[in-house]
């Protein structure tokens, strides 16, 4: 798989803007210089369970299949104890993927592969370095306050916006690896927090359509919703469902699915 096959135009455009921000490169250099990546590695080893063929063979094998399908070097895989279904990937030279325990417990294996493929999509598109920087800033509450009150604030806002757009590219990777319907069912579970949802797997796509109708009904509604969305680190799940539903008829999606079937 090639990054250009899954890169969402909004992600590519936002990244371009981000690279032009003067404060951005300074931020990256600073955080990598202080050894944040090593600190994260210590934290992973210290507080999470590293997945291996011995302790969780099904999860480990599924991860290897996804990594092979996406065509990236195998990152380290960890599971952390959390009732909230979530996953993330960080790192620059030592990249890792972390899955919450509730994801592993509540999703089917294909749905779990969709989350793994989403994270691997971030790695393929080389999102992880920038995401690491954002994570560090947010983790350091005081630093975030300094940044929001300083000249680096535009860079921080650009970074946040890009972060939201990068999720669309990673979602495309997930849909390409497991098929868009499995992606939609995983997203339904992530949204509800439940392990079993009845009915149409495209419920969130419909909600997305309703959301955009409501948002685009007036100028005031657009501004109101845009201001609310600004504070999210991810696009809302109904927007993610809607975006993938639009992308499923693209040539890139069809080619990737065909290639995946041929490579099985």
Q: Does 190 bind Zn ion (CB under 5 A)?
A: no
Cβ distance to Zn ion smaller for residue 11 or 167: 167
Angle in degrees, CA 154, 156, 159, rounded to 5: 110
Exactly one of 134, 170, 173, 187 binds Zn ion (CB under 5 A); that residue is 170
Q: Give the range of 9-17, 103-111, 170-178, 202-210 binding Zn ion by CB under 5 A.
A: 170-178
Q: How far is the CB of 145 from Zn ion (least distance, A)?
A: 25
Residues near 149 by beta carbon (within 8 Å), at least 6 away in sequence: none
Pseudo-torsion of CA 26, 93, 71, 162, nearest 10°? -20
Cβ distance to Zn ion smaller for residue 51 or 134: 134
Residue listed under structure tokens 């979530």: 86
| Nearest CA-CA partner of 17 in 168, 166, 159, 150 | 159
Site size toward Zn ion (CB under 5 A) is 2
Q: Does 103 bind Zn ion (CB under 5 A)?
A: no
Cα distances from 234 to residues 31, 71, 165, in angstroms, run 22, 25, 8
- Closest residue to Zn ion in the complex (CB): 170
Q: How far is the CB of 220 from Zn ion (least distance, A)?
A: 31
Cβ distance to Zn ion smaller for residue 69 or 170: 170
Q: How far is the CB of 202 from Zn ion (least distance, A)?
A: 21
Strands 87-90 and 49-50: unpaired
Q: Does 125 bind Zn ion (CB under 5 A)?
A: no
Q: Give the range of 10-18, 34-42, 165-173, 235-243 binding Zn ion by CB under 5 A.
A: 165-173
Distance CA 113, CA 143 (A): 35
| Nearest CA-CA partner of 67 in 89, 84, 50, 48 | 89
Q: Does 158 bind Zn ion (CB under 5 A)?
A: no
Q: How far is the CB of 213 from Zn ion (least distance, A)?
A: 26
Contacting positions for Zn ion (CB under 5 A): 167, 170
């Amino acid at each position: 798989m090639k990054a250009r096959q899954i890169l969402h135009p909004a992600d590519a455009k936002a990244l371009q803007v981000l690279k032009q921000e003067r404060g951005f490169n300074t931020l990256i250099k600073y955080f990598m210089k202080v050894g944040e990546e090593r600190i994260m590695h210590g934290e992973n080893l210290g507080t999470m369970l590293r997945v291996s063929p011995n302790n969780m063979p099904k999860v480990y094998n599924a991860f290897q299949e996804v990594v092979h399908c996406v065509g990236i070097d195998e990152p380290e895989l960890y599971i952390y104890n959390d009732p909230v279904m979530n996953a993330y990937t960080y790192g620059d030279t030592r990249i890792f993927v972390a899955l919450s325990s509730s994801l592993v417990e509540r999703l089917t294996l294909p749905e779990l592969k969709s989350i793994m493929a989403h994270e691997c999509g971030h790695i393929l598109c080389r999102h992880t370095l920038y995401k690491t920087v954002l994570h560090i800033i947010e983790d350091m509450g005081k630093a975030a306050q300094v940044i929001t009150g300083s000249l680096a604030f535009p860079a921080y806002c650009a970074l946040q916006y890009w972060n939201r757009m990068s999720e669309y590219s990673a979602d495309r990777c997930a849909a390409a690896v497991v098929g868009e319907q499995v992606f939609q069912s995983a997203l339904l579970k992530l949204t509800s927090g439940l392990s079993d949802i009845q009915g149409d797997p495209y419920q969130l796509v419909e909600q997305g359509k309703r959301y955009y109708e409501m948002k685009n009904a007036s100028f005031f509604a657009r501004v109101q919703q845009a201001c609310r969305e600004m504070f999210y680190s991810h696009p809302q799940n109904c927007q993610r469902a809607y975006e993938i539903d639009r992308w499923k008829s693209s040539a890139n999606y069809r080619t990737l699915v065909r290639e995946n079937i041929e490579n099985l």
